[in-house]
Structures are given as structure tokens and as C-alpha cells.
Amino acid sequence: MGWRWEPGVSVRLLSYTADGDRLVAVSSKVSLSRKSVEELLSMPEGEVELWIMETFRRMHFSPWEHSVYTFLVDGLSRVASHQLVRHRVASYTQLSHRYSEGYLRRMALEACKLTGLECPSRPVEAEGGRRGGYEAYARALGEALGLGDGELVRLAWLGYVLPPAPEHRLLDYAYEYLRATQRYYMLLAGGARREDARYLLPNALRTRIVVTMNARELIQVFLPLRTCTRAQWEIRYIAWSLWSQLVKVHPRLFRWAGPSCVFRENTLRQKPAPLEDYLEGRENFTQPRCPELVERKAIPACLKAARNIGAGEGGGSPE
């Protein structure tokens, strides 16, 4: 089929506390220093660096809660979004499949195009009204089940996340996704409400979600858990994508972040090391085993595998 694996999930940092790193340093001194707030806010850069490192080494992360980050995850599955919202120290706003068809209409319209059937761009524009539009979508999706392997998978990819898997299994996923979507639109055509029809849809259905977390939750909980090989591949992909953006805007806060093995190693050291140094072998691990009980000698390979998502799995996505 000619596949290059890509989940179709994007992560975008929408906003953040611009002076968050300085705010962490200032907050850490508020309870210890007799200086005025004005003096603390004007502390030199070297002192900011020092206090960030001190809070990290002492695991005194309450000052980190004052630096806040909002990001958009687009195209993730319901499987991944359900894992994401388990992080309770955060705020979430998610696409509602009760009020919106989300990615499904894009998939249905593409099925109309591929099968040569005439379909309205919006269901309400159909000759028979909204139900007529849904019926047209269901018919097109039914016809699409007879498409070639590549077209079938590409079509399913528009509405659903395809896991990294061998090609024959991707076809199984794609077929079931299309069949479920066809049945969904058949129910809508018959008068069912979206909130009821959606019970037929697989957890792989794409969604989007806006998330706000503070630096403490990110560095102490989210990134250690979700960049680790023990995390499911999609949430791990999201975590690594987010880390790459965080380290660009606030390197002084997030350069020491990483999977639990890196986080623990850095809190044990006199001077923490950047994540890239562990990935590239410039720094060695001293802990006898990581929090996930991987032995020291196996940690470097495990760390590299954590970032190399989907490699060697035989999966793919539309080129």
C-alpha cells in the first residue's frame, strides 16, 4: 500500500506564562527572602537559573505551579483523550460528539467523492432534509467498503486513529471503522439523536481537546508517566510532541524533564543533565533500576525506544 506511519495527531502550544521561568524563581524566594517583590523580580539571570535548579534538586515544586501552559491536541482518539483527562490537576475543553459529527462528516464527504455519489456538504442541504443528507452519507460509506485496500485505509484515517500495525490488520481496523460509521449515519437518518447514535462509534474516533496544565504537573507527573515506554503509544506521542515545544519556550524549566528514569536520575544528581544528553549517551544512569523496574544497563535502550514511536511496527498512514 505504500505506507509511512503517521498518527495524524497534532499538538500545538497555544499560550503560556511568558516569564514563567523567572516567576518560578521569584516565587521560590518569596518565603525565604526579606527583599521586596520589586527587587526579587529584577534578580539577575544567573540567580534565576540558580533558584530554578535549587527547587528542582530539592523537589520543591510548588513555585512551578505559577507557570501555566495551554495546548491544543487535534486528531487524537477517544482512547488517548480518556487517558489524558485522568491527569486531574488540569483544565479541559473537548469537542462534543453529542453536538458535532466532528471528523465523521469529512470522512463521509470523502466517501461520496471516491464513490462518485452526490452528497450535500451539510446534511440540512439535502433534498430530503437532514435525514436525507445522513442517508446519502450512509450510502456512500457502504459503497466505500468495496474500495481498494489503500483507498479504504486512507478514508478510515480521516475519521479515526490507526494504530501502528501490520498492513493486513490496518485493513481490518479500516473496514470496521467504516462499517460503524455507516451504521451511525443510518441511525441518524432514521431519526436517532447524535447522543444515542454515537454509542456505535469506536474509541478510535478522532477528537480535539484544549488542555491547561501548570509546570509542576507537567514535569513531575505528566511527562514522567507519558513519555515512558510503559505509556500507550498515542499518549506517548502527544507527550513527546508537547515536551519538544515546552523546551523551546522555557528551556530552563523543561530541559531536565523526561520519562520517569530521567526525572528520577536528575533529582538524585548534584547537577541535573538535559534529556538530550541521556538520549545521545553523553550521560549515564546511576540508579540501579528505574521506577518501572528496568535495570540500569537496559535503561538507555528503553529510553530511546520511548521516543522512537511506531518504529518497526509495520503500520502506516496516507502518504
- Residues annotated as catalytic are 226
Q: Residue 41 is placed in which grid cell?
A: 523580580
CB 152 within 8 A of CB 159: no
Q: Measuring CA to CA, which residue among 106, 170, 190, 108 is closest to residue 143?
A: 108
Distance CA 137, CA 119 (A): 7
User: Look-up: residue for cell 500507550?
Assistant: 232
Long-range contact pairs involving 109-113 (C-beta distance under 8 Å, separation at least 24): 109/137, 110/155, 110/158, 111/137, 111/140, 111/141, 111/143, 111/144, 111/155, 111/178, 112/136, 112/137, 112/140
CB 311 within 8 A of CB 4: no
Q: How far, rounded to the nearest angstrom, does the alpha carbon of residue 270 sit from its chain's CA centroid?
A: 32
Dihedral Cα 167, 169, 175, 178, nearest 10 deg: -90
Residue length, the chain?
A: 319
Q: Which residues contact 183 (CB under 8 A, 6 or more apart)?
A: 138, 200
Distance CA 108, CA 157 (A): 12
